[in-house]
Each structure stands twice: as C-alpha cells, then as structure tokens.
Amino acid sequence: MINDLLKGNRRFVETVFERERPYFAELSKAQHPTVLWIGCSDSRVPVNTITQTRPGEIFVHRNVANIVAGADWNLSAVLEFSINHLNIPDIVICGHYGCGGILALDNTSEHDQYVPIWLNSAREAAHRVDGRLQAAGEPLSAVQRHRLIVEENVSLQMEHLLAYPFVARAVDAGKLAVHGWVYDMDTGGINVQTSRPRRPKNE
C-alpha cells in the first residue's frame, strides 16, 4: 500500500499538479481557507471529495467521532489559529452515520485504553437520546438509535465548541458562525442539522 501511495503521488504530479501549476504556485505562498472542518477520522469521509473543494479551501481537523474536547490542546491550537490568524468565518462540525466511534459507546473493548477515555466527551449524546426514547416509550431499532446519537453528538460538540471563550466571543462579535452537519454514506449527501449564524455586533 505504501508503494501505491507513492505511485499515486507521481500520477498527481504528472497530471493534476502539472495541469494546475499556477494554482498550486499561488497556494504555496499562503493559505486563505474560509471554513474550518471538524470531522471524524473515518477513512470513508474524505472532506474534499464529498464537498468537491480544492486544496486550500478548507482547514481540516479530524479525530475519532468528531469530538470537541475542552482539554484537547491540538484542537485548541487549531481553533485559535483558525480564528485569530486565518480569520475563518465558518466552522463546520460534521458527523456521519455508521460512525465507529459512536458505535463504540455501546461496545467497549478490554484491549482499548485510550478510546474509552476519548469517547467520554460524546457519552452525553447517548444519554440524551436514550432519555428521550425512554420518555416517549417508543422503541427504535439499533440503527435508528445510532443515527439519533450521531445527530445528537454533533449538537453536543457544537455546545463544547461554544464553551471555548474565544470562540463564543467571535460568534457574539459577528465574526464567526458554527454549523452542524451529518454525512450519509448511503446516499453521499450531507444533512444540515443546525446552525448558529453570525450575530451582528449591535444585537
């Protein structure tokens, strides 16, 4: 597989890069992405492919289950750089149905040490969904429940994102909007879950 990656790079250089050399030359000088994408690390959710965007258009941070954790220095630095230096106006948190991280909330492994700790930041999503289902008294299939938890997790991570004071300030100042999306691998489509638009400064 490693050799295949290098062969693929050579094909990229000979075709795409050569054909769009002026674009890549400009891109090498500076980046001006307009969206920060916080998504899952799942290999089946390739950001540029499913959004049909070019290199340089999206600033990307990915992790298991598209989690926004308050103690994640990696994400904290990404957020700070995005807002303070790249002046990105939109953040998208994108989950996806069939997410292995969300499925792992119910299926812990004795061999995993770090995954369960990481997923603590998503467990509230499952608790909320199960609470609503219990109150409604309407049993759902495992697949339906999973889809609801995936969606709720996106909302939960948006809450975590706005708990960062400098993110909340940017939203309040009208400089930033936060969006929650879910990608459906069965259809290829993106479902818009919710959005917190930029708020004008005079509000």
The residues annotated as belonging to the active site are: 40, 42, 44, 96, 99
**Amino acid at residue number 160:** H
DSSP state of 4: H
Q: How many CA atoms lie within 13 A of 200 on its CB side?
A: 2
Residue 38 CB-density burial (10 A; 0-12 exposed, 13-18 middle, 19+ buried): buried
Angstrom distance (rounded) from CA 48 to CA 60? 10
Angstrom distance (rounded) from CA 202 to CA 51? 33
Residue owning tokens 């959005």: 195
